[in-house]
């Protein structure tokens, strides 16, 4: 008999991008952590990992480099193995290390952490995986935790569904695509890079009900409110630097497309919108910034514009000329396009996966949730947030030595009357 034929998976549009960009100076990795109410039992957690991985084939893969594109294939190597946590999370992916695994599992005292290479899945898909893993872990400890798609917990004893592996970008792309010039350059909010590889993480914890009250008092959602706070902080930072000409401040806000285009995919399915304030037009109060953000998101977070945006990206990666260019030449082209489309037009990223919801039986076992975005392509901080119960957690993470963005962000919230507890892996924090 000949060698067994190994099935392979084509990367989706976002996966192709992240695979081409991955290098030592850029970490297309994100982390979710659940801080449990009891110390972690590593043996039980490893059993839960072993039980869940076959149920989620989209995460049980390795990446291969073909002549023209990267692709994924099932990873049949031993692992992935649970490890004790490290000081600098979200380390860059090295495709040939760690038996080729593109997911990582860590524990420390009460904390369970999952790290995912973004080519595999977006945050929404990874949270289904993580929620199912936590449920399996609690079952290993003897707790009765129900499964159910409505609860976002998939049964590890059931076979995976083909719909969970769908490339939703390819399914829904079509019609007109965005045309014209690249978006204008925004203020870059960069700083002094730390020595390699020093990844600085600062977290702020605050009561969700008080934050929601402040946002709703201004007619805004929590995402809109925190986005406006971040934009004001960056605007003020640029102004303090006294540039010859102040540039627009714009944020990349990922939008979960599942709310607009029905799919059960656990892979990537997000698009980015770009709220922006131009200080060359004059000064803005916070309420004016918040109004800009609110109305921009209401105007542009719609099915037609989002489809137009990701259709352009799909057509770029499927262009006939690009298809026949070898991958070693294609990667630099994709990197240049990303710099023009994904870095240059933005002052930073803010993502909020929202509320981490679990069944009633799980709630007493989780104290709070945390999220970290990996290293940017340039030395600036990413911002992310997640909530569980009455605790909302906000993270600033990057290789920037300066702390003014996160410091002024949390100071603003404190001045608003919102108590914030700050933790950091910076020396002396």
Q: What is the pLDDT along the chain (429 residues), one digit of tens a residue?
A: 344 556 788 888 888 888 888 877 778 999 999 999 999 999 999 999 999 999 999 999 999 988 888 899 999 999 999 999 999 999 988 888 899 999 999 999 999 999 999 999 999 999 999 999 999 999 999 999 999 887 889 999 999 999 999 999 999 998 877 665 678 999 999 999 988 778 999 999 999 999 999 999 999 999 999 999 999 999 999 999 999 999 999 999 999 999 999 999 999 999 999 999 999 999 999 999 999 999 999 999 999 999 998 998 888 777 887 778 888 888 888 888 888 888 999 999 999 999 999 999 999 999 999 999 998 889 999 999 999 999 999 999 999 999 999 999 999 999 999 999 999 999 876
Task: Give, as one character, the DSSP assignment of residue 277.
Answer: E
Query: Domain 9-152+166-172 classified CATH 3.30.465.10?
Result: no
Which pLDDT does position 340 carry in this prediction? 83
Q: How far is CA 314 from CA 224, 284, 305, in A?
A: 28, 37, 14
- For CATH 3.30.559.10, list the domain ranges present in the chain: 9-152+166-172, 200-349+382-424
The structure tokens listed for 211 are 């934050």
In this structure, the number of other CB atoms found within 10 A of the CB of residue 356 comes to: 22
Rounded Cα distance, 197 and 188, in Å:
21
Homologous superfamily (CATH) of 200-349+382-424 is Chloramphenicol acetyltransferase-like domain (3.30.559.10)
ω into 346 cis (within 30 of 0): no
Termini Cα distance of the chain: 61
Determine the Cα–Cα distance for residues 100 and 78; give it in Å rounded to an integer: 10
**pTM, entire model:** 0.95
């Amino acid at each position: 008999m000949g060698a067994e034929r190994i099935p392979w998976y084509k990367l989706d549009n976002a996966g192709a991008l992240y695979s081409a960009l991955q290098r030592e100076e850029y970490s297309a990795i994100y982390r979710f952590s659940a801080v449990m109410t009891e110390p972690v039992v590593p043996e039980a957690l490893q059993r839960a990992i072993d039980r869940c991985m076959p149920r989620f084939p989209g995460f049980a893969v390795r990446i291969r480099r073909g002549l023209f594109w990267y692709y994924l294939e099932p990873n049949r190597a031993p692992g992935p193995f649970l490890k004790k946590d490290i000081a600098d999370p979200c380390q860059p992916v090295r495709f040939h290390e760690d038996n080729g695994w593109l997911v990582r599992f860590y524990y420390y005292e009460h904390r369970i952490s999952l790290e995912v290479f973004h080519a595999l899945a977006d945050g929404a898909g990874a949270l289904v995986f993580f929620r199912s893993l936590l449920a399996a872990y609690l079952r290993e400890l003897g707790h009765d935790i129900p499964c159910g798609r409505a609860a976002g917990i998939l049964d590890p004893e059931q076979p995976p569904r083909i719909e969970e592996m769908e490339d939703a970008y390819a399914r829904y792309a079509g019609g007109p695509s965005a045309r014209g010039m690249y978006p204008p350059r925004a203020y870059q909010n960069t700083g002094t890079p730390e020595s390699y590889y020093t990844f600085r993480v600062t977290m702020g914890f605050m009561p969700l009900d008080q934050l929601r009250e402040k946002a709703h008092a201004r007619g805004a959602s929590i995402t809109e409110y925190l986005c406006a706070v971040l934009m004001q902080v960056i605007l003020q930072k640029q102004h303090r630097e006294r540039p010859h000409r102040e540039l627009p401040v714009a944020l990349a806000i990922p939008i979960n497309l599942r709310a607009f285009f029905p799919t059960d995919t656990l892979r990537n399915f997000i698009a980015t919108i770009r709220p922006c304030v131009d200080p060359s037009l004059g000064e803005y109060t916070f309420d004016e910034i918040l109004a800009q953000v609110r109305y921009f998101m209401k105007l542009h977070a719609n099915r037609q514009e989002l489809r137009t945006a990701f259709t352009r990206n799909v057509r770029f990666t499927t262009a006939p000329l690009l298809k026949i260019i070898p991958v070693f030449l294609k990667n630099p082209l994709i990197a240049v396009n990303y710099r023009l489309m994904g870095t240059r037009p933005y002052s930073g990223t803010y993502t909020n996966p929202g509320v981490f919801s679990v069944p009633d039986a799980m709630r007493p076992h989780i104290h709070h949730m945390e999220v970290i975005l990996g290293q940017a392509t340039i030395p600036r901080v990413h911002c992310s947030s997640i909530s569980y119960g009455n605790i909302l957690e906000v993270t600033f993470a990057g290789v920037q030595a300066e702390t003014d963005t996160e410091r002024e962000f949390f100071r603003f919230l404190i001045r608003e009357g919102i108590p914030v507890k700050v933790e950091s892996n910076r020396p002396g924090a």
